[in-house]
Amino acid sequence: MTTKKTRLRVIPLGGLDEIGKNMTVIEYGNDMVLIDAGIMFPDEAHPGVDLILPDYSYVVKRRDKLRGIIITHGHEDHTGALPYLLKDLGRPVPILGTKLTLGLIAGKLNEHKIKKPKLREITAGGKVSLGIFGFQFFAVNHSIPDGVAVFIKTPVGNILHTGDFKLDQTPIDGRVTDYAGIAKAGRQGISLLLSDSTNAESPGYPRTEATVGDSLRTLFAEADQRIIVASFSSHIHRVQQVCDAAVGCGRKVVVTGRSMVNNTKIARELGYLKIDEENIVDAYSMGNIPPEKVVVLSTGSQGEPLSALARMANGDHKTVRIEEGDTVVISATPVPGNEKAVSRVINKLAKAGAIVKHKGIADVHVSGHGASEELKLMLNLTKPKHFIPIHGETRHLHAHADLAFAVGVKEDNIFVMENGDVFELSESGGQLGTRVQAGVVYVDGLSVGDVGQVILRDRALLASDGIATIVIAVDAKTGKLVGEPEIVARGVVFADEGDSTLLADARARINKTLAKTAGEGATDHQVIQNAVRESLSQFLWERVRRRPMIIPVVMEV
């Protein structure tokens, strides 16, 4: 009989029911590896938060078992948690990735002052061993070069983790998906497939990346003045196409935005971005070139408030000021939750006189993730016994599960999981095990993990309804009010509008409440504060339908 100790455990700690913070544990006995270590960017529900990490406490508690961390590609949602994880592990751990992936990771670790990380380069088609596990890597296409799928040989069966992929037949760098290698792995037998679900709801096949280049060349040829293109800084294929289109129409490329400058520099040094030195111009030298001879390559495709494009839209960028007739191309799709931020930037650009082109009105972006027919092809190539859809919101995971069932995977062998769920695999089959701790860790400035839901709730409350502080002086012996309560408010309707009647009525309600507590003989500060808080909260809800944060301060005299 197979014991739990000999079961393989697959534990997603991030990447399920969300787009971001991808992290999966593969564990067998005394050996454990981690696939990806990503972050997720905050939205309006996370005021003041800079980054969101997966809760990787399960890994930290078992750090002595960790044999290595494999990174499938260089996007932030797969690499961004590495600096924080390495600090918490407190010991060097091998990090495996392809050349470009490691180049981007090295830059990130250097920013965090992590010295001498154990970076170990892998290649598509290559093989390595970590503990009891054997690994082989297959080339896959994505919106960043050098992505790989990971084939894992374990004592109880083979696993394939696809990473993020798209089956592009005409990739920009000529590096096609390794169909033969993946098919061969399928013939060897795959006990478990974990596959990218991002576009599982999208029918058919997505357009190829090369079609964006055609659109860019057309737009550039039609533009009379300066062109500004905003894209993900890690989308090196897109950056390459922007550079090719710019050079093709006789324009120089100006790079702005910290991550865009860093990533293009790394990609050029490693040979993944090809553009002659004479065609790249420093942003501070751009003023010497006629506007019709310039393409500005910028960050800010997600409407980030501090990004280069947002600063241009606000008119406070150091080197680029939007002029009437400039063409702005937003070559990306808003990540869920960023739609409003992107819309605000577009509106500001339009007000400044720019001609804005985005995915809604021009063919300036295609997804780097496979649609439903490509996902079915991956399933048919690999023919897995068990299937776990990963990398997607819940609806994407369920849609991918339906695709797996449609191509012949048994319904009982399809597992739609949540972060922290445990899939246990043995030679006799797979099943769900006992959940482990999982969740999120918020990065707020230099603070990591100190911000919780209560603080986020308070920040949201302050932003929406404001704050009111009530200073009350009471007799220390009797608990009776001495003088009038003083109300200091910020962001509360009676303070903003100067409504003296409402303010007077609020004081009257507080006086009535204090008279009641004094009549009951209450002298405990906590009792008085709670009574005042509840009374004023109810009053404001009745009168203005708002519940601001209320902080009563009781002073004894």
3-state SS record for 206-275? CCCCHHHHHHHHHHHHHCCCCEEEECCCCCHHHHHHHHHHHHHCCCEEEEECHHHHHHHHHHHHCCCCCC
369 flagged as catalytic: yes
Q: How confident is residue 173, by pLDDT bands cut at 50, 70 and 90?
A: very high
Please pick, among 73, 142, 161, 369, the residue that the annotation labels catalytic.
369
Given a contact cutoff of 8 angstroms between Cβ atoms, the answer to whether 133 and 152 are in contact is yes
| 263 three-class SS | helix
Cα three-residue angle 384-389-395, rounded to 5 degrees: 145
Q: Which of the residue ranges 184-193, 529-538, 541-550 would you say has the lowest mean pLDDT?
A: 541-550
CB atoms within 10 A of CB 204: 8
Tell me the residue ranges of DSSP E strands in 29-83: 31-35, 51-54, 66-70
365 flagged as catalytic: no
pLDDT in tens, 197-247: 999 999 999 899 999 999 999 999 999 999 999 999 999 999 999 999 999
Domains plus CATH for the chain? Answer: 4-204+367-448 (3.60.15.10), 210-357 (3.40.50.10710), 466-556 (3.10.20.580)
Given a contact cutoff of 8 angstroms between Cβ atoms, the answer to whether 372 and 202 are in contact is yes
Please pick, among 196, 326, 421, 465, the residue that the annotation labels catalytic.
196
d(CA 48, CA 68): 33
Q: What is the pLDDT of residue 458?
A: 55
The CA–CA distances, whole Å, from 450 to 321, 453, 454 equal 39, 10, 11
Better-scored residue on pLDDT, 1 or 108: 108
d(CA 244, CA 240): 6
d(CA 557, CA 538): 28
Given a contact cutoff of 8 angstroms between Cβ atoms, the answer to whether 23 and 54 are in contact is yes
Residue 99: Cβ-neighbour burial (10 angstroms; 0-12, 13-18, 19+): middle
What number is the average pLDDT over the span 326-345? 89
Output the six-digit token pair for 508: 């009257």
Pick from 74, 114, 120: nearest CA to 96 = 120
